[in-house]
Amino acid sequence: MKSFREFYHKLRIHLAGQYDRPKLYEKYYGIKIGEKTRITGKLHLGSEPFLIEVGRNVRLTQEIRFITHGGVSIFRDKHPGLNFFGRIKIGDNVIIGSSAIICPNVTIGDNVIVGAGSVVTKSIPSNSIAGGNPAKVITSIEEYKDRKLKTGVYIFEKDPKKRKEEILRELENKEKELGIIK
């Protein structure tokens, strides 16, 4: 019976929209998630999802792994029952890229972007961009914003076909402006 229930929960989460998934993860797994958070793909929560807390206005992309335990089973012959657990706390206004791994006892501050594929073994301070294995602070959120304001394009079209045309046109204009293409 438990396996059918788990299958049903996973199916409901899979079929849910990115704004509905947080409620289902909270309901089925006990993870704490703030409002306006989006989950755009599958999360791997490990065996202690109740140790994970996610703030408001967070974007969790696909295949993120939260690890809340581990690393001591090799000592159990001499230390039966030994376990290691650690909480994970993610602040407000955070983006975590695809396939990132968040390790135990990590706090990710407010206004942070964690790059895709990063392995976060230590806490990341607020207002920073971090990436790599192990993840390290790369720049401040302000420096990153300044760069993106210079290199980004503004897209407003909603119709998919027209949106594609607008993206290609605006990207080509920006590449010419920056000297990337002539």
On the 0-12 / 13-18 / 19+ scale of CB atoms within 10 A, 78 is: exposed
Q: How confident is the model at residue 1 (pLDDT cuts 50, 70, 90)?
A: low
For the chain, which residues make up each domain, given as ranges?
A: 2-139, 152-182
Q: What is the CA radius of gyration of the chain?
A: 20
Which CATH architecture group holds 2-139? 3 Solenoid (2.160)
Q: What is the helix, strand, coil percentage profile of the chain, to 5?
A: 30, 25, 45
CA atoms within 13 A on the CB side of 166: 11
Q: What is the pTM of this model?
A: 0.87
Tens digit of pLDDT for each residue in 143-171?
A: 999 999 999 999 999 999 999 999 999 99
**In this predicted structure, what is the pLDDT of residue 173?**
92
> Are the CB atoms for 28 and 8 separated by under 8 Å?
no
**In this predicted structure, what is the pLDDT of residue 11?**
82
> Are the CB atoms for 29 and 21 separated by under 8 Å?
no
CA distance 126 to 53: 16
Query: Helices 21-29 and 2-15: crossing angle, nearest 10°?
Result: 160
**In this predicted structure, what is the pLDDT of residue 54?**
98
Tens digit of pLDDT for each residue in 80-125?
A: 999 999 999 999 999 999 999 999 999 999 999 999 999 999 999 9
Q: Read off the pLDDT of each residue in 56-72 and give the average, rounded to a whole number.
A: 95
Q: Report residue 20 as tokens.
A: 């509905």
DSSP-H helix ranges across the chain: 2-15, 21-29, 141-151, 160-178
